[in-house]
Amino acid sequence: MIHPWVPSANEDDRKYMLKKIGVRTPLDLYRDVPSKLLLDKPPKIGFGKSLSEFEIRRIVESYLRKNKVFLDPPPFMGGGLCFHVVPAAVKYIISRGEFYTAYTPYQPEINQGLLQALFEYQSLIADLFEMDVVNASMYDMSTAVAEAFLMAVRVTKKKKILVPATMHPEHLSVAKTWLFGKGIKIEQISFNSETGEINLMELERKLQSNDVAAVYIENPSSLGFIERNVEAISDLAHKHGALFIAGVDPLSLGLIKPPGRYNADIAVAEGQSLGLGLNYGGPLLGIFAVKWDRRLIRQMPGRLIGLTQTVDGKERGFVMILQTREQHIKREKATSNITTNEALMAIAAAVYLSLLGREGIRKISRIIWLRSHYAAKRLSEIGVRAPYFNNEFFKEFVAVFPVPYRKIHRALLEKNILGGLPLDKWCPWIGPNAALFCVTEAHSMRDIDLLVDVLNEIIGRVK
């Protein structure tokens, strides 16, 4: 067989190499495999034969044609991931083969560029969050949350985590999976039904037993509202020896107070909004940051890149640091099993934040706030309760319709509009009429007006 990806599989090379090895056929190299295990025919995979580029292109095209992409207007769907604009320069940089075909930079001298880009990612996030130490990425926000909980248990030696009842349901379910093996309990704190904010009395009561490893909040919450009592929650947690963990939206931080400012010990986030695309939910980017505190940094999961110098002290350079926390050295005593992470997505985020810059981050946060508020206001004018909570919000908000939302959602699809996320399954207590909308920098006033007009017409029809 001759194939472009297997250079030496041709007859000439193969004959030469097998002769040098001293065997007759390639299968002689499998002589130690029990013969009854060797397959006698090729596996039933693919389309029964090898395919050329042109052939696979046509096949993939036939599948992709069946996917429906919403770009005019962009999706209004929330749920932790929203449609954001991806600058061409971001795609260009992460499409460079020197980056995307590299391995983890175990040999720093030959991968300075990769290491510096990751160091810059860590640094840009540190400044955005006002946290001091950021790792080189987790898989996504859900696993960053789970790792933060595990870390809190290691740091405090306590075994209970308190979370808001409004927490992102998938993040909660992932955290439960990750904590199951260690028998760590997660308890939910009820919320103020008017504002959505955490019930401070209940929080304080649950902290009294002093067996809580961490208090987690989302800010903004997965339902969009802002948790304004962050300082009080932070103080309560610390008073009872628990860590305070904040989940944030990076693109809100040009406008909203960063987690470092309200004394979060650990901050986590989903980095998808920083130039990644939706990717049907993966790959994403789990952001993980801690403040400068010896006992926290030593217990961090994941890879860290640090600044150093050449052994002769003459030049600056970058290397992986504090590796004694990691699995390849510490094995079962490692702070986490994570190895492969989302490095290329972290670089995308670094390029994105570099392009956005100090002016851009302020502007984009502000414009997202303005647009989402405009959408909520327009919706409330046609008899939709939006936002559902009487509270400030950012980007996502709950809208409650006078009729069951699923019907409306299907009618929107017929008009080529991807509406809000139906909340009947995601957040059952809120009822079948509710949906989670997301409005970003990508939605013009015209897009929003179009949505509202179409909704108005649908509601009239469905009623």
- Contacts with another protein in 214-243 (CB under 8 A)? 226, 228, 230-231
Instruction: Tell me the closest approach of the beta carbon of residue 429 to another protein, in angstroms.
Output: 19
Question: Between residue 112 and residue 131, which ones bind another protein under the rule CB under 8 A?
Answer: 112-114, 116-120, 122-124, 126-128, 130
User: For residues 128 and 203, which CB has a smaller minimum distance to another protein in the complex?
Assistant: 128
The answer to the question of residue 32 lying near another protein (CB under 8 A) is yes
The answer to the question of residue 202 lying near another protein (CB under 8 A) is no
Distance CA 141, CA 384 (A): 31
Based on the number of CB atoms within 10 Å of its own CB, is 19 exposed (0-12), middle (13-18) or buried (19 or more)? exposed
Q: Of 192, 195, 354, 456, which lies in the binding site for another protein, with binding defined by CB under 8 A?
A: 354
Instruction: Tell me the closest approach of the beta carbon of residue 107 to another protein, in angstroms.
Output: 5
Instruction: Tell me the closest approach of the beta carbon of residue 191 to another protein, in angstroms.
Output: 17
Question: Between residue 148 and residue 177, which ones bind another protein under the rule CB under 8 A?
Answer: 150, 168, 170-171, 173-174, 176-177
Task: At 191, list the tokens.
Answer: 């919320």
Smallest CA-to-CA distance from 81 within 163, 4, 142, 39 is with 142
Amino acid at 248: V
Question: Between residue 47 and residue 106, which ones bind another protein under the rule CB under 8 A?
Answer: 47-53, 56-57, 59-60, 62-71, 75, 77, 79-81, 83, 85, 87, 89, 91-93, 95-106
Instruction: Tell me the closest approach of the beta carbon of residue 138 to another protein, in angstroms.
Output: 9
Task: At 358, list the tokens.
Answer: 């100090």
Instruction: Tell me the closest approach of the beta carbon of residue 206 to another protein, in angstroms.
Output: 24
Assess contact for 269 and 294: CB atoms under 8 A: no
Instruction: Tell me the closest approach of the beta carbon of residue 202 to another protein, in angstroms.
Output: 22
Assess contact for 342 and 286: CB atoms under 8 A: yes
Task: At 122, list the tokens.
Answer: 């860590």
Q: Sign of the CA dihedral 38, 40, 45, 51?
A: positive
The answer to the question of residue 460 lying near another protein (CB under 8 A) is no
User: Within 10 Å of residue 131's Cβ, how many Cβ atoms?
Assistant: 24
The answer to the question of residue 297 lying near another protein (CB under 8 A) is yes
Distance CA 78, CA 421 (A): 6
Q: Which stretch binds another protein (CB under 8 A): 2-10, 204-212, 234-242, 395-403?
A: 2-10
Question: Between residue 364 and residue 393, which ones bind another protein under the rule CB under 8 A?
Answer: 364, 366-367, 369-371, 373-374, 377, 392
Instruction: Tell me the closest approach of the beta carbon of residue 225 to another protein, in angstroms.
Output: 11
Smallest CA-to-CA distance from 384 within 415, 405, 360, 363 is with 405
Distance CA 164, CA 129 (A): 21
Length of the chain: 463
